[in-house]
Amino acid sequence: MTITPSTPAGTLELLPAEQAIHDAMLDKIRRGFRRFGFPAIETPVFERADVLLTKTGGETERQVYFVQSAGSLEAGEAPDLALRFDLTVPLARYVAEHEHELVFPFRRSQIQRVYRGERPQRGRYREFYQCDIDVIDRDELSLRHDAEVAAAAIAILEDLGIGSVTLRINNRRLMRRLLEEVGIESEDAQTEVLREVDKIEKKGVDAVGRTLVDSGLSPESVGKLLEFTSVSASGVAAIESALSTLPARAESEAAEVAEVARTMAALGVDEDSFALDLAIARGLDYYTGTVYETRLDDHPELGSICSGGRYDDLAGQYTTTRLPGVGISIGFTRLFWQLREAGLLPEGSPAVPVSVALMSDDDLEYSLGVAARLRAAGIDTETQMTPSRLGKQLKAADRRGCVLVVIAGESERQRSTVSVRDLTRGEQVEVPLSDLVDHVTRRLSQEP
Amino acid sequence: MTITPSTPAGTLELLPAEQAIHDAMLDKIRRGFRRFGFPAIETPVFERADVLLTKTGGETERQVYFVQSAGSLEAGEAPDLALRFDLTVPLARYVAEHEHELVFPFRRSQIQRVYRGERPQRGRYREFYQCDIDVIDRDELSLRHDAEVAAAAIAILEDLGIGSVTLRINNRRLMRRLLEEVGIESEDAQTEVLREVDKIEKKGVDAVGRTLVDSGLSPESVGKLLEFTSVSASGVAAIESALSTLPARAESEAAEVAEVARTMAALGVDEDSFALDLAIARGLDYYTGTVYETRLDDHPELGSICSGGRYDDLAGQYTTTRLPGVGISIGFTRLFWQLREAGLLPEGSPAVPVSVALMSDDDLEYSLGVAARLRAAGIDTETQMTPSRLGKQLKAADRRGCVLVVIAGESERQRSTVSVRDLTRGEQVEVPLSDLVDHVTRRLSQEP
């Protein structure tokens, strides 16, 4: 008569030890965003369906989840709510709705889950965290912000303890000038070609070249185009030099890319951490200028872990105010899953580092007092409430991921001491109660 | 041709300054839970509808939101997903599903939003945060955990900076013995009466007494019952003394309540922070032993801000393992709203405390370097990317909630200094670049 309990398909649910690593990583991202001056906002998980789905026909919109109350469903009504499928449309709604209460340029960070009704497959989630930062201004937004969001993303990713990254930059307007140079003039044709260029990494340059020729472009045009898309360079001087080889008609767009690179260096970004790469196109037509992708240097096979770009007008569907912006997004759940699969998750702090054992009911008050002392010093501490064999308690604490077990039995109590068992090293020492906090603090910070 | 952007009814959306206060409070709760040894978990926002809705007919289940993908809706299917309406059913599913991977007693904290299709009204939300801790064991769970969750809740609430609290304790089994004493023997009749007793605070003791008499109870029984429900006491000694006046048939239940009180004191809880109150019944029949409610001492009119209790079997719908538990929950969104309405929100840190101004394009590199220096020291810093009049920049920084504006103009640059304007005090001082971090750190920590 029981129902088999199971999580819905396409969701990632973690046990406490992995949740602690997950949350510690998210927390680093959150603090990093704030360090760069991007305060956090949150929006509701659902939006009014008519507000969310103003641009019809997109792939993401076909994957939307609709929401309706039991009453509305019973009444046979159409759903009037839908789960957000990204954080950009809710940002557009937020900025348009609160326009007169916000200060521009408006920076915001947002770390929330989004929902897409994708066909479940390994590493593809229906519910996943996105970690976004964007800067929005009215009418005009300085190009320098394109450097700012990229600098923030690099600093934050490098702080995660998953190795060094390279953020690759391109500019979609620059690409359009280069497409004109090889004779592809119409905007629609350019969009089609850019979509194909975006597949170079996945399909290889030869396959993309053949597809482009098959679609009717001259082999000569395709050859010149693929020469452009092979341009890449790392470091400000090399980027400037590579850009100087491009045709004159792309001069002002090339100058923009160079300015972004120089501003990133001024923001203190290590010049090894970013590169120009004219093969980066970002499939989304949404982007109108700078575009970014970011890879782990030691694991490029994981693909881009952080992408984004510049857009001309964030919220045209909601307001007549022109709101240009630039933003970048970490697809966190997928990244976490990939790192876990590859055995690359950073070492995390234990969910709860210290456990206070209970040897007999007579020791309860003393043991609870010991725990209270540790907590008062800010040390995360669990307490055993039922006495049992020490071996059993040590094993349970170890399985929970604790590092230290504090034993406060009768003999310790009589001497006003405690015994501290280090589960990692298998050592046990007796310390006076008055030294407990110092001792535990030292052990947890890995000092000898 | 634009759609009016608006947040869905029944959701709380905040501007960055209030979001920072909101998040700082949630963060304190999160860290408090961990300090008491309750590691965090997260569950998906939706569950399979057949898994979530196993107990039919409850008020909460009638308020459930159903979820379905665009494809499923088009195909005319019934929704197979639903948004969680609390964190307890997902916990039951989690524990039953992962039973063999968890270590018991299993402590967990969970801070996520839940969804109820309530009629929107002031202070009632359709989307709201709950902050829950629970301890679950197999077969038997020590009564001491009833004290543990209460102690954790009190410590965490007192840490929020919203004033002192009193957690009031009762025990539903104790109440059943007292109802037997006044001649109410059947369990169903007891449940009905307890539901009425739960309204004493709201309707007053006289109104509840009349309702009970009208329902057919003798005035004498009602009189004796209301004498019992008037029993309250603060501090272990007073609680023990009050419990000793109760009839002999309630002796073992009274002893349990006394043990919970004594264990709370042993856990280091201030004896002013908890009280026995036999008028607390908690409407939910779900609870089978200890029940809690918590009020702000200076604002009892806000009602209970943190409630919970003991239950016999968490997950009977999912597993044949008996899983007794005890838990407590802070209804955070409602609390935040109430505090805001009453002007009682704690002082929060600013969303971004420091802004670096930009006086002219020539100063860009110097200004960005100053910002990088502050960030490297862990100080949250925004930078102006476009030069404008200083007055305008100061005003914008002030509106964003910044406390300090760092000015790194030409004259400062030539002297390797910066000027730091304190927006709160209206003072400005010039400091050498090498002293900047110390100066800002001191100012932000409010030291002179």
Structure confidence by residue, pLDDT tens digits, B174-183: 999 999 999 9
End position of a domain, from candidates A312, A341, A370: A341
What is the band of B57 on the pLDDT scale with cuts at 50, 70, 90? Answer: low
User: Do A364 and A328 fall into the same domain?
Assistant: no
Asked if the model's pLDDT at residue B370 lies above 50, the reply is yes
Asked if the model's pLDDT at residue B231 lies above 70, the reply is yes
State whether residue A66 is helix, strand or coil.
strand
C-alpha–C-alpha distance, residues A20 and A13, integer Å: 12
Report yes or no: B158 and B273 within 8 Å, Cβ to Cβ: yes
* Length in residues, chain B: 448
Asked if the model's pLDDT at residue A56 lies above 60, the reply is no
Q: What is the DSSP letter of B299?
A: B
Residue among A25, A119, A131 at smallest CA distance from A344? A25
- Does any CB of chain A come closer than 8 Å to the CB of residue B26? no
Query: How confident is the model at residue A448, as a pLDDT?
Result: 43
End position of a domain, from candidates B282, B310, B341: B341
* CATH code of A361's domain: 3.40.50.800
Of the candidates A6, A96, A382, the beta carbon closest to that of B51 is on: A6
Phi-psi region of B216 (alpha: psi -120 to 50; beta: other; left: phi over 0): left
> HEC states along B80-121?
CEEECCCCHHHHHHHHHHCHHHCCCCEEEEEEEEEECCCCCE
Of the candidates A37, A46, A117, the beta carbon closest to that of B70 is on: A117
- State which residues form the domain around B182: 16-341
CA angle (B361 as vertex; B359, B362 as ends), nearest 5? 95
Q: What is the pLDDT of residues A17-39, one digit of tens each?
A: 999 999 999 999 999 999 999 99
Report yes or no: B261 and B236 within 8 Å, Cβ to Cβ: yes
Of the candidates A6, A63, A96, the beta carbon closest to that of B5 is on: A96
Instruction: Specify the higher pLDDT residue, B56 or B392.
Output: B392
User: Do B125 and B248 fall into the same domain?
Assistant: yes
List the end-to-end C-alpha distance of chain A, in Å, as a whole number: 55
Q: What is the pLDDT of residues A376-426, one digit of tens each?
A: 999 999 999 999 999 999 999 999 999 999 999 999 999 999 999 999 999
What is the edge-to-edge ordering of all strands in the sheet holding A106-115? A106-115, A127-136, A325-331, A306-311, A290-296, A165-171, A274-277, A232-234
Query: How confident is the model at residue B448, as a pLDDT?
Result: 43
Of the candidates B101, B115, B355, the beta carbon closest to that of A15 is on: B101
* CATH code of A21's domain: 3.30.930.10
Residue among B153, B111, B107, B103 at smallest CA distance from B128? B111
pLDDT > 70 in chain B, percent: 98
Report yes or no: A356 and B252 within 8 Å, Cβ to Cβ: no
The mean predicted confidence, pLDDT, of chain B is 94
C-alpha–C-alpha distance, residues B23 and B145, integer Å: 28
End position of a domain, from candidates A341, A374, A391: A341
Partners of A130 in beta bridges: A112, A331
Please check whether residue A59 lies inside any domain of the structure.
no
Q: Give the residue from A26, A28, A144, A373 with the most B CB atoms within 10 Å of its CB, the best one to mutate.
A: A144
Tokens 């010039």 belong to which residue?
B430
Please check whether residue B212 lies inside any domain of the structure.
yes
Please check whether residue A73 lies inside any domain of the structure.
no
pLDDT > 90 in chain A, percent: 88
Q: What is the pLDDT of residues A81-136, one digit of tens each?
A: 999 999 999 999 999 999 999 999 999 999 999 999 988 788 889 999 999 999 99
Q: What is the pLDDT of residues A133-155, one digit of tens each?
A: 999 999 999 999 999 999 999 99
Q: What is the pLDDT of residues B60-93, one digit of tens each?
A: 778 999 999 999 999 999 999 999 999 999 999 9
Report yes or no: B158 and B41 within 8 Å, Cβ to Cβ: no
Is A7 in Cβ contact with B97 (below 8 Å)?
yes
The number of domains in chain B is 2
Query: How confident is the model at residue B2, as a pLDDT?
Result: 83
So what's the ipTM on this one? 0.95
Distance in Å, alpha carbon of A415 to nearest chain B alpha carbon: 19
User: Do B84 and B127 fall into the same domain?
Assistant: yes
**Looking at beta carbons, which residues of chain B come within 8 Å of A355?**
37
Asked if the model's pLDDT at residue A58 lies above 90, the reply is no
- Does any CB of chain B come closer than 8 Å to the CB of residue A385? yes
